């Protein structure tokens, strides 16, 4: 580890063995600089899985993992929205209430009033978007801290949820309705899951290869072709093995597929579009973004809208999986689990750092803990304490890496 700091920052040459060494050194340099990304959470997840597997061999069975995936989808979807607001250095405390409201709207209109499911879903999503627009307006017009706005939202929206439900404490959504079957019983057919794995890896390989050959043609540092191939192959093996393993039981739930697709799309939006760039810029330095001509208020409003819409969608998924909408939909720990997942996944609370993938990683960690402890027939009291401890650990890692970046002059 006694390489001089500058040696790893030299632009890469392209001979393969040299590059591999370079990659490793760059990675170690990043770790030392405190630019941890998702490394800690991946390591943490592996430890958690090994620990639970040792404690109870049922943990890593296909049946349990299939359920785990389904459990992740609803709160994970909410968490994607939380990642977005955290990237701006803001917070949305009301995501739970909004998800509950969406569930209530679905229950009342779809079951109570016999609306077509599409219309009910659209209305619920629109309600989420309207709330987000309202937050965005309050924030950009009056400069009220988002913490307070969304704290008010938490209470206010909960009130709306109860009002929408009215006298009916709980509305059961019919098991044979499409939306409940989607959430509970629809799985990718085995063949489709393998095709999807091949297509995903092939697409990754093709896109990366094209981008890298363009870079090479432009005389910029580029990834060696073998590296592209190795990465695509690893992806293929990972997806293929995962599909095969889950297919031994019921397979991959469509709801989980939807969640992953949303993560991938959000990741694209964040990393490859002008809008995403402006989100990171505003999260990094509002003043710099403003001076660069970015319409900062639009970014805030769009992100709040996206976050509340994701929250509403998550609420719909949760209600469908439960086949019911009631007064406690979106209550309990849904709110804080969604926020904790984003932070555990590696999105910084201080804004400007993180990725859509942290929603996926974070929720898998939380749900693994929950599932593992349930298998050990431990009380939910323990689950809360352990999850709280993990969250604390994640925040400490974030704070330490921030300080480490500062001490390396890369804050």
H helix or E strand, kind and range, residue 325:
strand 324-326
Query: What Å distances lie between residue 336 and 76, 129, 249, 341, CA to CA?
Result: 12, 20, 31, 8
Between 231 and 405, CB nearer to other proteins: 405
Among 220, 229, 382, 399, binds other proteins (CB under 8 A): 220
Q: Please report whether residue 298 would count as binding other proteins according to CB under 8 A.
A: no
Show contacts of 295-302: CB within 8 Å, 24+ apart. Answer: 296/140, 297/136, 297/140, 299/88, 299/275, 300/88, 300/90, 300/136, 300/139, 300/140, 301/132, 301/133, 301/136, 301/137, 301/139, 301/140, 302/136, 302/275
How many angstroms separate the CA atoms of 240 and 244, rounded? 6
Residue window 198-217: x/- pattern of binding to other proteins, with contact defined by CB under 8 A: -------------x--xx--
Residue window 346-365: x/- pattern of binding to other proteins, with contact defined by CB under 8 A: ------xx------------
Q: Please report whether residue 167 would count as binding other proteins according to CB under 8 A.
A: no
How many angstroms separate the CA atoms of 350 and 136, rounded? 19
Token pair in block for residue 49: 């899985």
Among 76, 251, 283, 315, binds other proteins (CB under 8 A): 283
Among 281, 303, 339, 397, binds other proteins (CB under 8 A): 281
Between 278 and 329, CB nearer to other proteins: 278
Q: Please report whether residue 400 would count as binding other proteins according to CB under 8 A.
A: no
Could you tell me the smallest distance in angstroms from the CB atom of residue 223 to other proteins? 12
Q: Please report whether residue 399 would count as binding other proteins according to CB under 8 A.
A: no
Among 288, 392, 396, 399, binds other proteins (CB under 8 A): 288
**Rounded to 5 degrees, what angle do the CA atoms 350, 280, 32 make?**
60
Residues that bind other proteins (CB under 8 A): 6, 9-11, 33, 35, 211, 214-215, 218-221, 272-274, 277-278, 280-281, 283-285, 287-289, 291-294, 352-353, 405, 408-411
């Amino acid at each position: 580890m006694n390489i001089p700091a500058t040696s790893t920052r030299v632009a890469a040459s392209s001979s393969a063995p040299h590059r591999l060494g370079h990659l490793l050194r760059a990675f170690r340099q990043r770790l030392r600089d405190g630019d941890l990304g998702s490394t800690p959470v991946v390591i943490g997840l592996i430890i958690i899985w090994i620990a639970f597997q040792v404690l109870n061999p049922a943990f890593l069975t296909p049946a349990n993992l299939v359920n785990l995936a389904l459990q992740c989808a609803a709160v994970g979807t909410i968490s994607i929205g939380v990642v977005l607001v955290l990237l701006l250095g803001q917070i949305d405390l009301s995501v739970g209430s909004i998800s509950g409201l969406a569930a209530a709207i679905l229950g009342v209109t779809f079951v109570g009033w016999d609306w077509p499911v599409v219309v009910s879903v659209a209305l619920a999503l629109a309600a989420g978007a309207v709330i987000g627009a309202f937050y965005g307006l309050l924030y950009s017009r009056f400069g009220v801290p988002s913490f307070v706005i969304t704290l008010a939202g938490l209470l206010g929206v909960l009130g709306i949820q109860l009002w929408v439900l009215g006298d009916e404490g709980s509305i059961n959504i019919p098991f044979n309705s499409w939306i409940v079957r989607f959430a509970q019983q629809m799985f990718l057919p085995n063949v489709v899951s393998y095709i999807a794995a091949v297509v995903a890896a092939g697409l990754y390989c093709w896109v990366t290869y094209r981008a890298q050959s363009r870079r090479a043609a432009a005389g910029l540092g580029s990834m060696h072709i073998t590296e592209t191939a190795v990465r695509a192959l690893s992806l293929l093996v990972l997806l293929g093995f995962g599909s095969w393993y889950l297919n031994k039981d019921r397979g991959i739930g469509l709801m989980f597929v939807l969640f992953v697709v949303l993560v991938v799309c959000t990741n694209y939006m964040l990393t490859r579009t002008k809008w995403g760039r402006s989100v990171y810029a505003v999260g990094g330095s509002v003043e710099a973004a403003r001076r660069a001509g970015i319409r900062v208020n639009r970014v805030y409003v769009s992100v709040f809208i996206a976050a509340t819409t994701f929250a509403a969608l998550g609420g719909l998924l949760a209600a469908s999986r439960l086949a019911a909408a009631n007064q406690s939909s979106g209550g309990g720990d849904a709110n804080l689990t969604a926020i904790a997942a984003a932070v555990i996944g590696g999105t910084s609370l201080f804004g400007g750092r993180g990725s859509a993938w942290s929603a996926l990683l974070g929720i898998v960690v939380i749900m693994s803990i929950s599932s593992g402890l349930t298998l050990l027939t431990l009380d939910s009291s323990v689950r809360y304490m352990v999850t709280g401890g993990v969250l604390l650990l994640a925040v400490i890692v974030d704070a330490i890496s921030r300080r480490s970046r500062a001490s390396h002059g890369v804050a």
